[in-house]
Amino acid sequence: MNTVQKQIVVKNHKFCLEIYPQREGTNEDQFVYEIFPHGYKAALYAFSNKQSLDKMIKEKYLYEKK
């Protein structure tokens, strides 16, 4: 059970994205992740754009089309 770590950049703000493995009893389509901003401005961006950032992460990094 390894955590997947990715360094991502969104609108010139750097973040560390950690995606955790499936846990027993969760649906196949559910992923647990955390995002850690690099710096104060990235934290402000994440706080102000939480919904759009969440949507982008799910579309681009969690549910990639095969």
pLDDT tens-place string over residues 15-32: 999 988 766 555 655 678
pLDDT at position 4: 86
Phi, psi (rounded to 5 degrees) for 51: -65, -45
pLDDT at position 3: 82
Series of mean pLDDT values for 10-residue runs along the chain (66 residues): 87 93 62 91 96 92 64
Name the domain count of the chain: 1
d(CA 5, CA 18) in angstroms, rounded, equals 5
Q: Which amino acid is at 23?
A: R
Q: What predicted TM-score, i.e. pTM, was given to this entire model?
A: 0.77
For 53, the domain range is 4-62
The two tokens of residue 50 are: 């939480």
